[in-house]
Amino acid sequence: MRMLAAVILHAALSTAAPAPELVLQTGHSLPVVTVSLSRDGALLATGSRDGTAILWDAATGDKLREIAAEPLGVSALALSPDGRSLLTGGAGTAKLWDAQTGALVRKFGTPGEFLVTAAFTPDGRSIATAGDDASVKFWDARTAKRLRVYGPATGRVNAVALSADGKRLAYAAGGADIWVWDLDKGTLLQQLVGEEPATALSFSPDARRLAAGGRNSVRVWDVARGIDVVSFKGSAGKALAFTSDGKQLLSCGWNNTARLWNAASGLPVRSLIGHLDAVDSLALSPGGRLAVTGSEDHTARLWDLASGRALKVFGGASLPVLYAAVSSDGRRLVTVDPQKASLWDLEAGKPVNRSTGEWESAGRFSVSRDARWLASIVNQDEVDLRDLTADKDPYAYRWTLLKARALALDPAGRFLVTAREDSLQSWDIPSASERALNGARAERPAWVGVGLEGRRLVTRGSDGAIELWDLDDGRRIQRFKLESNAPPDILISRDGRFMAAGAPAAGGRYSISIRALGDGEELQAWTADSAIEPFAFGPTGDSLLVLSKDGAWEWDLLTGRKKNAFSPPPEAVLEWPAAVDPAWRYLLARREDGVSVVSMPTGKELALLRLSEKGWIVTTPDGRLDAAPQAARWTVGLKSFPLRKFAGESLVPGLLGKILLGDAK
């Protein structure tokens, strides 16, 4: 009786509807190298070199589930004929996953070889794998028992194809030879010899023809006679697929497109254009009306084959925050990611404006104290200046002829100072015209900063010397150098009255100098026993937050002594130009998966902010969240729902602002 009850309980648990899960609407962070469509066309699976497999709703483009499948990258992937299971292949083993729950069901094979194929037979009862050991193996899908092996061939298997009726197998390995087997009889039908190694194979629906693609050409073979019936030039070595009527052939390769060909004449029919990089994989819907492609640009696309029109784009990677700054009143936040700069209204708790750009490899950033103006160096030496409050995007000054090594905005946003190899320049922001610097000409400046309400300029030369200039008359007020051969770290206080400079000193120690920007007088100087970095001046200007390899602490500028230790969460990284609240209530620290909002008094994480091409999402340790409409959805099994459907009280509009302004309950 107990056993019967256990069986009933197990059955109830296994058939219970899965609980809703919050899924961020991001995609793969590396190329999509394999794709698969379910037989009913409702479900799409993608596999990437980033090690994940993602299940998507093919009709809406919503992400349903992400599976961390293969640490070294997913090289092969297939949905089962009934759509309930997902098969992934990677470093030696194929893995079977429950598509509803994302749970691992079983493994096939042993680690050691890199799989190029992991596929279901048409009846779903067996699984085929192939890779480095020059053979194709078949496994029982339910027991993982190995059934049979075909081969060995010569060298690594490059491509595998199974016919639609499950009766024929073709694979290419080593050189230009292709082996075709009769699976019913277990006999070799043909050994076809091509002109170049085949890296993509596909049977026609009736299994009478076999298409083989290489880097430079496509060849269609008559399997029974062992002769090629048509060949044509085209980069098709990534993937091939016949349409359901066998009249056309879809291919993809290295030229950023997929191309549809007439399978009888070899003439091109149309190209599917839209990917930004090489197209690595493709799949056709059972009816042949739709195609899916996966690309090096990290996305998959759904196409209408008749028109060549892209219907959906799946993916869009998560975006790292490259820079963040808080306005002097603490009510505005600026974040910069590789694609855009966003201005956040913290009272609303969401971005209110954004300016698109290319900040992937941006250098130094500078933001005015009201968070209106953002200046940066892009493309190594071009100056980019943005008005983040402008209605039109972009409203930007781009001085492509101005070669800048460093820059700094006047805190009031009136002018911009840039440094070249041999001189300084100043630009009036309203008129975009050059302003006179009244003779201030630092040699080889590598860093610049503006303080004291725009009346002082601080420069650091390539030799590490620091110079203080009067911007009213161009007079150099002070020049000094710390006892170090390394360039010093420099920090100007938010009110512009003080400067902290720190650099390594003799004996593994670290020296810090605090100076007044009015006359350059040194107010404090001391050395620390280990390397530290000035990070932020305190709200009243009498303390300094410093970083070291052991953590962070508050330094009393009057006594030169440590006051309070600051211990952020271990996953939060502070070695980054993070934003610090003027009142020292919080700071923003980099994390692998976003930006951590850390409480300054306690060191605990208050929230996690993540950005993506779909928008933004804020989550808290206690389960509250807020997000842009397209950034996240709830999933239940293989269905996706709007965020508000299950969020209930956990969805808090304006959550980020409530946390940062101290209003969160």
- Which CATH number characterizes residue 561's domain? 2.40.10
Return the amino acid letter for 200: A
Can you read off the two tokens belonging to residue 575? 């070695």
> Which segments within 592-631 are labelled E, that is strand?
594-599, 605-612, 615-619, 625-627
Looking at residue 403, what is its pLDDT? Answer: 72
- The phi and psi torsions of 352 (rounded to 5 degrees) equal -110, -10
Distance (Å, whole) CA 51 – CA 48? 6
Per-10-residue mean pLDDT, the chain, length 665: 37 56 89 94 94 95 94 94 94 91 92 84 94 88 94 79 95 88 93 89 96 91 93 84 95 88 93 90 91 93 94 86 93 93 95 88 90 90 88 58 83 92 84 77 85 94 90 89 85 92 84 92 84 86 83 81 85 82 92 91 93 91 93 91 90 95 73
67 belongs to a structural domain: yes
663 belongs to a structural domain: no
Q: How far is CA 649 from CA 108, 493, 652, 661, in A?
A: 44, 41, 7, 20
E strand or H helix at 555, and its extent?
Answer: strand 551-556
Looking at residue 314, what is its pLDDT? Answer: 93
Tell which of 531, 566, 601 closes a domain.
Answer: 566
- Is the backbone peptide bond immediately before 394 cis, with ω within 30 degrees of 0? yes
The pTM for the full model equals 0.81
Residue 320, burial from CB neighbour count under 10 angstroms (0-12, 13-18, 19+): middle
397 belongs to a structural domain: no
HEC states along 359-424? CCCCCCEEECCCCCEEEEEECCCEEEEEECCCCCCCCEEEECCCCCCEEEECCCCCEEEEECCCCE
- The phi and psi torsions of 630 (rounded to 5 degrees) equal -100, 5
Looking at residue 431, what is its pLDDT? Answer: 80
Distance (Å, whole) CA 57 – CA 68? 18
Q: Which domain holds residue 497?
A: 484-566
Estimate to the nearest angstrom the gap between the alpha carbon of 174 and the chain centroid.
Answer: 35
- Is the backbone peptide bond immediately before 152 cis, with ω within 30 degrees of 0? yes
97 and 65 Cβ atoms separated by less than 8 Å: no
89 and 107 Cβ atoms separated by less than 8 Å: no
520 belongs to a structural domain: yes
Distance (Å, whole) CA 473 – CA 217? 71
- Which CATH number characterizes residue 60's domain? 2.130.10.10
Tell which of 101, 125, 152 closes a domain.
Answer: 152
Q: 362-395 burial by CB neighbour count: b if 16+ within 10 A, else e?
A: bbbbbbbbbbbbbbbbbeebbbbbbbbeeeebbe
Q: Interior CA angle at 609 toward 605 and 615, to 5°?
A: 170
HEC states along 125-173? CEEEEECCCCCEEEEECCCCCEEEEECCCCCCEEEEEECCCCCEEEEEE
Helix (H, G, I), strand (E, B) or coil at 186: coil
Helix (H, G, I), strand (E, B) or coil at 231: strand
Q: How far is CA 84 from CA 39, 284, 371, 562, in A?
A: 11, 19, 50, 60
199 belongs to a structural domain: no
Looking at residue 402, what is its pLDDT? Answer: 64
Q: How far is CA 82 from CA 39, 121, 453, in A?
A: 7, 12, 69
Q: 216-238 burial by CB neighbour count: b if 16+ within 10 A, else e?
A: ebbbbbebeeeebebebebbbbb
- The phi and psi torsions of 8 (rounded to 5 degrees) equal -65, -45
Distance (Å, whole) CA 332 – CA 346? 6
303 belongs to a structural domain: no
Looking at residue 482, what is its pLDDT? Answer: 85
Return the amino acid letter for 509: R
Tell which of 566, 581, 604 closes a domain.
Answer: 566
Looking at residue 318, what is its pLDDT? Answer: 81
CA terminus-to-terminus distance, the chain: 51
488 belongs to a structural domain: yes
Residue 122, burial from CB neighbour count under 10 angstroms (0-12, 13-18, 19+): middle
Distance (Å, whole) CA 367 – CA 261? 53
Can you read off the two tokens belonging to residue 2? 């107990």
Looking at residue 13, what is its pLDDT? Answer: 35
HEC states along 76-133? EEEECCCCCEEEEECECCEEEEECCCCCEEEEECCCCCECCEEEECCCCCEEEEECCC
β partners of residue 386: 374, 396
550 and 562 Cβ atoms separated by less than 8 Å: no
**Number of domains making up the chain:** 2
Looking at residue 104, what is its pLDDT? Answer: 96
519 and 477 Cβ atoms separated by less than 8 Å: yes
584 belongs to a structural domain: no
Residue 31, burial from CB neighbour count under 10 angstroms (0-12, 13-18, 19+): buried
